[in-house]
Structure 1
Amino acid sequence: MSLKGKTIFITGASRGIGREIALRAAQDGANIVIAAKTTTAHPKLGGTIHSVAKEIEEAGGQALPIQLDVRDQDAVAAAMKQAAEHFGGIDILINNAGAINLNGVEALDPNRFDLMYQVNTRAVMVCSQAALPYLKQSTNPHIISLSPPLNMKETWFGVHAPYTITKYGMSMLTIGMNKEFEKYGISVNALWPRTIIATAAIEFSLGGRELFTRARTPAIMADAAYAIMNSQGRSLTGRLLIDEEILREQGVTDFEQYRVEASDEELMVDLFVDA
């Protein structure tokens, strides 16, 4: 398997899972477009499009940092055009950018719902639509969205229905685009972690850094995405995949390597995944 020479457009790639996927692909010599909003370092959140670009080049890849707000459809179209002209095409789109707020209907500011909907659901459509002309020209095109299985149990709606709706929207678009883009030979999948991943979202939205003892590193998602990106000819498509599931299919049996730290504590299962 190799992504050498492939051009991968990753939204929200200045930190966390997006950054880790970029660095994994860079080891093969891939071309990576780091499309994110952060251009200057945040006191609490490490990583900018420029710092990740440097890391990609040090890892063996080619990098193109583009400041991008995925809510701006004109900016998205311009970024795709810039990426395609710079690298000679686009082979893979990874919809990684996300927004989270776990308040329920009673407490959630409608403006926060609008933000989640625009960054989660709408941006998947906008980015996929803008990438489509270039993906059609690729020999093995992929779209991967970081969204969950459609688990319809009441527990995933009763506490934070607004967030659930916006993430499930991404997954439903995945199912729909898989069918719609079949004629173009584009593989379309979603990917979600079985356990919580040590990212800023966990630290600042789901309970704090102390949860990292029950978390895995972003490397497991990067390895899972790498396996999907290397699948050929729609042999893997239309699935709402769990990271551990796809890696087991690839023959991986040692998952302790992905723990943030050695611990006897039980790993915390992520949202939308049954324990």
Structure 2
Amino acid sequence: MKLTGTVALITGASSGIGRATAVHLAQQGAAVALVARRKDRIDELAAAIEDVGGTAYAIPTDITDRSQAEAAVAQAVERFGRLDILVNNAGYMILGTVADADLDQWDRMIAVNQQGLLYMTKAALPHLQNAAGEHPRHVADIVNVSSIAGRTSFPTMAAYNMTKFGVNGFSEALRQELAAGHLRVGVLEPGKVDTELDSHNSDDILADIEKNFGGFKMLDPEDIADGVAYMVTRPRHTAIGELWIMPTEQG
């Protein structure tokens, strides 16, 4: 129970990596604020966590709306009195060539993957800085869930690559800004994970994904949740700036 007495806010908590991370951090003793658009799912998750002795609070939010993002942080702090960990996990991915791209989909990726992350981080920052100097850990954490697409480019992923390369650059600059105050910033870059992230794509793209990734065991959301927990439970003097987690067989 390394996180007893702390509060974690997780975006994209309604499914996949976000849901698994919320469960994992709650098992480590953190009170978890669950942020996502799908109220029914985060209500169900909050109930499931509390049924086994954890502490959770569902906050329906569209993080691409700055006022909603700011309100979500404020609600979490009002409910629990502090904020020690922010996990910026919410993500959106539409694949396809640049020539055939739907510009509205580009806008949506930028809004979720970058603007929402910026809004949440800015709103959470003063609360995290306060927590970094307080009991029980005297350190606080921001974990930004990026992607292997934030370090390597692929055909049909140009706009998604752009959003995730941006997350990586932002995370490293912010890490340097905040390091002296024991507010750690790390980026976690998963390879292929078995989640709903692909589901918004066309049938042709889904067929390509199955062709490329269907022949080996993908990561489970719990594998990434375990990585997040590892990052935020290091000793105060240790910061994980970048963690890259891949399926063993992914090239």
Tell me which interval the TM-score lies in, with the shorter structure as reference length: 0.7 to 0.9
Is residue 193–residue 221 contact of structure 1 (8 Å, CA) maintained in 2? yes
Q: Which amino acid counterpart does residue 235 of structure 1 have in structure 2?
A: T
**Aligned amino acid, residue 118 of structure 2:** M
Q: How has the CA–CA distance of structure 1 residues 79 and 217 changed in structure 2, closer, same or farther, with 3 Å as cutoff?
A: same
How is 1:62-101 mapped onto 2 (pairs within 5 angstroms)?
Answer: 62-101=55-94
Give the conservation status (yes or no) of the 8 Å contact 2:11–2:88: yes
| Structure 2 match to 1:144 | 143
For normalisation by structure 1, the TM-score amounts to 0.79
CA distance in 1: counterparts of 2:155 and 2:126, whole angstroms = 40
Provide the alpha-carbon RMSD of the alignment: 2.2
- 1:236 positional shift: 1.3
Aligned residue pairs: how many?
Answer: 237
2:165 counterpart residue number: 168
Verify: 1:185 aligned to 2:182, yes or no.
yes
Alpha carbons 2:188, 2:244 under 8 Å: kept: yes
Contact map agreement 1:94 1:144 (CA 8 A) in 2: yes
Contact 1:25–1:61 at 8 Å: present in 2 too?
Answer: no
Letter in 1 for 2:122: Q
For 2:122, the equivalent position in structure 1 comes to 129
Aligned 1:195-234 pairs, distance under 5 A = 196-202=192-198, 205=201, 206=206, 207=209, 211=214, 214-234=217-237
* Aligned partner letter, 1:224: G
1:125 shift after superposition: 1.4
Where do 5+ consecutive residues of structure 2 fail to align?
A: 132-137
Gaps of 5+ in 1: 41-47, 245-265, 270-274
Distance 1:113 1:234, change over 3 A: farther
Q: Name the stretch that deviates more: 52-61 or 27-36.
A: 52-61
Corresponding letter in the other structure for 2:163: T
Amino acid at match of 1:140: V
For residues 99 and 180 of structure 1, the distance between their equivalents in structure 2, rounded to whole angstroms, comes to 27
Q: Is the contact made by 1:174 and 1:189 (CA closer than 8 Å) also made in structure 2?
A: yes
Query: Which residue does the alignment assign to 1:261?
Result: none
For residue 80 of structure 1, give the secondary structure of its aligned residue in structure 2: helix
Q: Secondary structure at the match of 2:130?
A: coil
**Paired residue for 1:20?**
20
> Quick check: 1:191–1:240 contact (8 Å CA) kept in 2?
yes
Higher helix share: 2
Aligned to 2:135: none
Deviation, 1:231, is 1.4
Q: Read off the aligned partner of 2:14 and give its amino acid letter.
A: S
Q: Residues of 2 paired with 1:201 and 1:162: CA distance?
A: 15
Contact 1:145 1:170 in 2 (8 A): yes
Structure 2 CA distance, aligned partners of 1:241 and 1:37?
Answer: 27
In 2, distance between residues paired with 1:173 and 1:38?
A: 27
Matched residue, 1:58: 51
TM-score (norm 2): 0.87
The residue correspondences of 1:111-122 to structure 2 (distance < 5 A) are 111-122=104-115
Aligned partners of 1:12 and 1:18 also within 8 Å: yes
CA deviation profile, 1:84-134 (whole Å, cap 9, x unmatched) = 111011000000000000112111111111110010012221111100010
What CA distance in whole angstroms lies between the structure 1 residues aligned with 2:104 and 2:224?
30
From the superposition, tell whether residues 220 and 143 of structure 1 become closer, same or farther in structure 2 (CA, over 3 Å).
same
C-alpha distance in structure 1 between counterparts of 2:230 and 2:248, whole Å:
23
Structure 1 pair 268–122 and aligned structure 2 pair: CA distance change class (3 A): farther
What does residue 108 of structure 1 align with? 101
